[in-house]
Amino acid sequence: MTRPTDLAAITGAIPPADRTAASTQSDVIDLGLFHQAMFILQTGSTDATVDFKLQESASAAGSFNDIPGKAIAPLGPSDDNRQAIIEVDGSEVKRFVRAVVTGGAGTVCLVSLLAIGLSPRFGPARDNDAISVSQIVF
């Protein structure tokens, strides 16, 4: 039986927090391990704008550049409790990809993000879960 964690792994995150007037990067997904990735942004209460884009690099510690076409239209100050998804195919980008979330000026900007590696190139996807994944219950 194929389990969902055979096919998808949580490879990174931006933990829930107030990101007012700040940019935060997710963990890097190695697309040498996955064919595809999906980044899921979640907002809570916010009175600031929220920008969300993907960046790529040829190495995990290298210089990251924006990926054309992989950014959302900014969420506005009244866009509380929303989600936005950006997908990427490993054949379209460099090997290493990360998300960048930027909260605008305001008094509160609660956001979080999950980075999901999909369609593993080797073995079950869960073998490449982020270290922050504390449990998988079968």
pTM of the model: 0.95
- 111-123 pLDDT, tens digit per residue, is 999 999 999 999 9
- 50-109 pLDDT, tens digit per residue, is 999 999 999 999 999 999 999 999 999 989 999 999 999 999 999 999 999 999 998 999
- So what's the pLDDT on residue 113? 98
- 23-66 pLDDT, tens digit per residue, is 999 999 999 999 999 999 999 999 999 999 999 999 999 999 99
b/e sequence 27-60, b meaning 16+ C-beta within 10 Å: bbbbbebbebbbbbbebeebebbbbbbbbbbeee
- So what's the pLDDT on residue 4? 96
Which CATH number does the domain 4-120 belong to among 3.40.50.1110, 2.60.120.1110, 3.40.190.10, 1.10.357.10? Answer: 2.60.120.1110
